[in-house]
Amino acid sequence: MGNAFFVVWRESLEAFLIAGILYAWLKANDDSGGGRRALFAGLSAGVGLAGLLGWALLGVQDELSGSALELFQTATLLVAAGLITQMVLWMARHGRQMKARLHADLAAASSRSGHLGVAVVAALAVAREGAETVIFLYGLAQGGEMRALAIGAIGGFAGAGLTAWLAARSLARLNIGLLLRLSSGLLLVLASALLVAAVDRLIGAGWLPPLLDPVWDSAWLLDDTTTAGKLVADFSGYRAHPALATLLAWGGYWSLVVAARRRMRRG
C-alpha cells in the first residue's frame, strides 16, 4: 500500500502542477475562457487515455497464461523500473525548465490550432503521467494484495491534490522543488526494487541463472518473509537470501544511475 501511495502521490502531484501551470497561462492570455474549457477537456481526455492503457494491460493479461503470462508480467516490471528511472533523470535535467517548456508548447499549439491545440497539449501532458502511473501500479500489482494497492492509490491521489492545493493557497510553506527532489531519490529506490523483483522472476522461471544462490543469509538481521521484512523488501529490493545474479543486477542499476547523474552535473 505504501509503494502505491508514494508512486500515485508523486505522479499525480506532477499532473496537478502541469494543470496549474497551463491554467495560469490561459488565465493570463485567454480572455474568452474558451481555452480554459479546452484545457479541462484535454485533462479529461488524458485521464481517459491512461484508463484505456490500464484496460489494455488487463485485456492482454486475460489472454495469456503459463510462461507467456509470466514473461509479460516480468517485462512489465522491467518497463516500470525503466520508466521510473527515465522520469527521475529527465526531471533532474529538465525540471527547472518545465514551466517555460509548457508555456512555449501551449502558446505554439494555441496559435496553430486554437482551442483544439490547447486540449491536445493538456491531454498529452496528463496522459504521459497517467500512463506511467498505470504501468507502475500494474508492476506493483504483481505482488498481489489488490485491496491494499487500491487504498494506497486512492490515498496517493488525494494526498497529491492536498499538497498541490496547500502550495497554491500558501497555507503551508511547501517547497515543491525540494519535495520532488527528495521523492526522486525514493523513486529510484523503488525502481531498483522492481528490477530485483523482475530478476527474481527470471531466476524462478529458469530464464536466468542465479550464478550463486544464496550469496549470504541475513534473515537473522531482517527476515524478508515477516511483515516488517516484506515491507522493506517490497520498497527497497532487500533480500535476506540474495542470488548473485540479483546482486549484480542491483549493483549494475545503481552504477548506471550514479554515472548518469554525474554526467548531468558535468553537462
Determine the structural domain holding residue 146 and report its residue range.
Answer: 2-266
Question: 10 Å Cβ neighbour count for 3?
Answer: 24
pLDDT, position 218? 93
Lowest mean pLDDT among 5-9, 117-121, 252-256: 117-121
Q: Please state the rounded mean pLDDT for residues 142-165.
A: 78
Q: Please state the rounded mean pLDDT for residues 131-158.
A: 78
Looking at per-residue confidence, does 103 or 141 come out higher? 141
Phi-psi region of 71 (alpha: psi -120 to 50; beta: other; left: phi over 0): alpha
Is residue 170 pLDDT above 80, yes or no? no
Q: Please state the rounded mean pLDDT for residues 149-155.
A: 82
pLDDT, position 175? 66
pLDDT tens string 74-100: 998 898 898 889 888 887 776 666 667
pLDDT, position 98? 65
pLDDT, position 208? 93
Looking at per-residue confidence, does 234 or 142 come out higher? 234
pLDDT, position 96? 64
pLDDT, position 36? 78
Distances (CA, A) of 258 to 10, 22, 180, 244: 22, 33, 18, 21
Q: Please state the rounded mean pLDDT for residues 16-31.
A: 76
Is residue 263 pLDDT above 60, yes or no? yes
pLDDT, position 99? 65
Task: Give the count of domains, the chain.
Answer: 1
Report the mean per-residue pLDDT for the chain.
82
Distance between CA atoms of 29 and 38, rounded to whole angstroms?
14
pTM of the model: 0.80
Distance between CA atoms of 53 and 75, rounded to whole angstroms?
16
Residues 6+ apart with CB under 8 A from 31: none
pLDDT, position 233? 86
Confidence of residue 265 (pLDDT cuts 50, 70, 90): confident
Looking at residue 264, what DSSP letter applies? H
Is residue 203 pLDDT above 90, yes or no? yes
pLDDT, position 247? 95
Looking at residue 242, what DSSP letter applies? -
pLDDT, position 195? 94
Q: Please state the rounded mean pLDDT for residues 204-222.
A: 92
pLDDT, position 138? 80
Tally the residues of the chain.
267
Q: Please state the rounded mean pLDDT for residues 24-48.
A: 79
pLDDT, position 239? 93
